[in-house]
Structure 1
Amino acid sequence: MRKLLLLALSACTLSACHPVAIPEEVVMTTKTTLPASVGAREDLTIGLKVIQGCTFFSKVNVVERNASKLSIQVIGKTQKPCPAVPNAAARDLTFTDRVGPYFEEPGFPERTNPFEIWVNGSKAGTVTVQ
């Protein structure tokens, strides 16, 4: 019993020195590139540039999408512990907004003019719908 108690105590002590790092999801800073115009039913491709250092790109979430607005969030996961000098690198991504049914899903409605693009809660710009 005494050995078991010592073993449990030493395991708790060692695990406190080296905790397991769980990545956290955070909103990443992005630079957005938009086309000047797009058709009401055409694919709209948005260019996103993210800087990766201690945070690595994970996914893009659609926050809101209606006929006049698209709002997305660029999500990354943090690396812990962060190195003293992180290897910061730019990564170019694209997000495509599609209209209509795809793969049995209802899809999004046709775009109306003007069509606003929001990224991470800030207005990135407006696209003219032809």
Structure 2
Amino acid sequence: MPSPASRERRCELLAAADHDDIVPLAERLIAESGGPEPTVVKGPETGMVVLQVREPVEETRFYLGEVLVTECSVEVSGVPGWCMRPGDDRVAALAGALLDALAEAGGPAAARIDALCAEVAARLAAEEAAEWADVTATTVAFEELV
């Protein structure tokens, strides 16, 4: 079984995965599993959550606003799965929960889910690097006059 930290990271990456990547993979893996049908514990529900951020200088936390999310819980062969994604994509939230349960159960599906998560992590890292490259171009260098 994966550690709780890796499960947290997997849930984070499944939430950031594109609909067109996550849904077909979940459909394929459920069809290939040949096991019992997944049980939807809590169907995809859309709601609002409060977004809390940390101010970087004083490190004080404050509420920035509310964010629209969709949450879903499932069970596959007795293994729970959960997903919360930004927006109102109920199908992708269900797919994310299914992939979380399949990954937590281990087996051959876990490697394919880990590969998807690695692709999403690489995409997010590239996007962050590009954003920092844009910000770096605006850096002002000051000179000291003696």
TM over 0.5: no
TM-score by length of 2: 0.22
Higher helix share: 2
Q: Give the structure with higher Rg (CA).
A: 1
Q: Which has the higher contact order (CA 8 A, sep 6+)?
A: 1
Higher strand share: 1
